[in-house]
Amino acid sequence: MKKKDFVTLLLSTVGGILFALGMCMALLPEWDAMTQGVVIGVVGLVVLAIMLMVRRKMDGKPAIVFNGKTIATTIFGVLATVVFGVGMCMVMVWQMMVPGIIVGIVGIVLLLCLIPICKGLK
């Protein structure tokens, strides 16, 4: 395993776990830890952002390139994730099983559309 792959694995695991734990803390009313969950979720996002910058630096690329395609792809990814999350909330929180599954599947399809957007078709 290359050094950059190991660093990416380590940082993405830590960031993902922190983000997931923070979201559980924020969204589960039984835990009564909304504020602490948001803080831990943001820390997880920061670790993931650091992972992205470190990985690009180890690849010899600039940290983040801001252009129209990058911004549009990021906005599309965020919206697709929100659609997927709304579908999950409809099923698990609002007890709307069938509409929630449909919205969740639409979110998954939108997230899958990110692959050809980012990598292109060959």
Question: What pLDDT, in 10s, does the model give residues 97-119?
Answer: 999 999 999 999 999 999 999 98
| Banded pLDDT at 18 (limits 50, 70, 90) | very high
Residues 1 and 60 occupy one common structural domain: yes
Residues 50 and 94 in one domain: no
By CB neighbour count within 10 A (0-12 exposed, 13-18 middle, 19+ buried), where does 16 fall?
A: middle
Domain boundary at 64, 85, 108, which? 64
Final residue belonging to a domain, choices 64, 88, 103: 64
Q: Which of 112, 27, 119 is nearest to 77 (CA)?
A: 112
3 plus 59 within the same structural domain: yes
51 and 89 part of one domain: no
Tell me which residue range forms the domain holding 100. 65-122
Angle of CA points 77, 5, 53, to nearest 5°: 50
Res 77 pLDDT > 90: yes
Q: Which range is least confidently modeled, 8-22, 53-67, 73-87?
A: 53-67
pLDDT on residue 66: 84
The pLDDT score that the predictor gives to residue 1 is 85
Both 36 and 94 in a single domain? no
pLDDT band for position 19 (50/70/90)?
A: very high
Q: Same domain for 115 and 89?
A: yes
* 8 Å CB contact between 43 and 23: no
Decide if 66 contacts 51 (C-beta within 8 A): no
50/98 same-domain check: no
Task: Compute CA 38 distance to the chain's CA centroid, rounded to the nearest angstrom.
Answer: 15
Residues 56 and 78 in one domain: no
Assess whether 80 and 119 both reside in one domain: yes
User: Which range is least confidently modeled, 4-8, 64-68, 69-73?
Assistant: 64-68
